[in-house]
Amino acid sequence: MAETLLNQTSGKFFVAKSAGLEPGDLNPAVVEALREIGLDISGKRTRGVDEVLQSGMRFDYVITVCDGASVATCPPILGAGQRLHWSFPDPASFTGTHEERLARTRQLRDAIQRQIDNWCAEHCTTEAA
């Protein structure tokens, strides 16, 4: 979700790549919450951090978005500039009915967007391009 929102917000300044410790299936609530704001990720696939590391890509920023307890398990990213941590819950951990999980996912989507907007206000400049 953060990758899509960051690319939507700051795509002319940065290109975000997302990876998880254990890639799996797209979360249907995340797909639905993003579709509601005009972003379709249904054709995307998840990637593991090893896949991104093996690509040899260099990063100006590495932003982890896992909750505080999980950040310690994030591997070091060689070639990374600045490492940032934005603590957000994993939507896969949300429980309840579909509507309850979707409501929490919408709240999460909006919280991530606010974090991106705040960060981009400082970092999305013509000097960054």
Assess whether pLDDT exceeds 50 at residue 129.
no
Q: Tell me the per-residue pLDDT of 32-70, one tens digit each, with 9 for 90 and over.
A: 999 999 999 998 888 887 787 777 777 888 888 877 656
How does DSSP assign the chain, residue by residue? -HHHHHHHHHTTT------BSS--PPPHHHHHHHHTTT---TT----BHHHHHHTT--EEEEEE-S-TTTGGGSPP-TTEEEEEE-----GGG--SSHHHHHHHHHHHHHHHHHHHHHHHHHH-STTT-
Assess whether pLDDT exceeds 50 at residue 96.
yes
* Domain 2-123 in CATH 3.40.50.2300: yes
